[in-house]
Amino acid sequence: MHRSPPRISPSGSGTARLPVVPLVLGLTLLLFVSLVCGVGLGAAGIGWTDVFRLLGAGLTGGTLDAGDAAAYTIVWEIRLPRVVLGAVVGAGLAAVGVAVQAMVRNALADPFVLGISSGAAVGANAVILLGVFAGLGVWALSLSAFASALAATALVYAMARSPHGLTPLRLILTGTALAYGFEAVTTVMVFGAARGEAARSAIMWLLGSLGGATWAQVPLAAVTVAAGWAWLRLRAESLNALAMGDETSAALGVQPARLRRELFLVTAAVTGTVVAVSGAIGFVGLMVPHVVRMLVGADHRRVLAVAPLAGAVLLVWADLLSRLLLAPAELPVGVITAVVGVPAFVLLMRRGGYAFGGR
């Protein structure tokens, strides 16, 4: 019979221990402000008074003048679903990043280390470059990317599985090796593209973009991320045990092989869903968990309470910068997260006293 592990509080990574509740409240307020800024700012100049009026009309079903139709479409149908989806994707990547780092006990792990995003890229680029599943219309890209992500997940699981279950080293090596293989397939498709614009769209997707966000994409992504986060929160103490090593976690009543298998499935489902709607946005799942551990410690109960909000705020602002820096053209949002993330991550690693999981 499965028994819950005792309450475990691993030694922290760093000396800062900010209280979680005020931090969550502060990040929630910051996220709300970020969403408003994401809707109000853009290449098309719309005054703040008009932005709030249009948002209010959309929320309450109020009437608008015929002259407001274009501005309403920009605010309600283009910008708002984009920033909401950005928050959902950022939260999902951050939460899954926490889980993957605990699952493989590797500080350099992120949601894409298992090869899932590279597998999704094969399906997405098959639609963009080859016109596969064109009959599905606007759903073709997301459905093809998600289906190929699931196929990649099944392949990684089948190849990494051993008589002893899913070990961290086999997962990392298998996922990394298959990711290179998937990337090679994608590269061949990009170089073989007959249309230059199609190749550009493929590169944009590979680096991540929220430019195609619609309201239809938000519910499934939000439900999947929320369900994945809720499951991780319920297993937070088990994650604490797993991060200490298989022998220690087994002694504490956690079955490491079973938990790792469950984590693999949950992280694959969340990663596949968010990658299908946003492309391969890197660095969020790698950097955010480390920043949050420095603020609140290594206890996964605390980290998982804060990381999704931090990831959501980060991605909303990264997407906003991707829209504004070269307006009216757009940069891939993955470029922004890398430009911000690389120096920030190097500074974090150079700080004295920081170690993943307190080691």
Name the stretches of the chain with pLDDT < 70.
1-16, 134, 137-138, 165, 193-197, 348-349, 351-359
pLDDT of residue 227: 95
Helix, strand, or coil (residue 162): strand
**Chain centre to alpha carbon of residue 30:** 19
- Which helix H or strand E contains 281, and what residues bound it? none
Give the integer Cα–Cα distance in Å for 52 and 64: 13
Which class for 290: exposed (0-12), middle (13-18), buried (19 or more C-beta within 10 A)?
Answer: buried
The string of pLDDT tens digits covering residues 41-87 is 888 878 888 888 888 887 877 777 777 788 888 898 999 999 999 99
Provide the whole-model pTM: 0.87
151 and 268 Cβ atoms separated by less than 8 Å: no
Q: At 162, list the tokens.
A: 């051993």
pLDDT of residue 359: 45
pLDDT of residue 108: 74
**Chain centre to alpha carbon of residue 206:** 14
Backbone φ, ψ for residue 163 (5° rounding): -55, -20
Domains of the chain as residue ranges with CATH:
73-346 (1.10.3470.10)
The string of pLDDT tens digits covering residues 194-245 is 666 677 777 777 888 898 888 988 998 999 999 999 999 999 999 998 888 8
Longest distance between any two alpha carbons in the chain, whole Å: 68
Give the integer Cα–Cα distance in Å for 344 and 276: 27
pLDDT of residue 351: 65
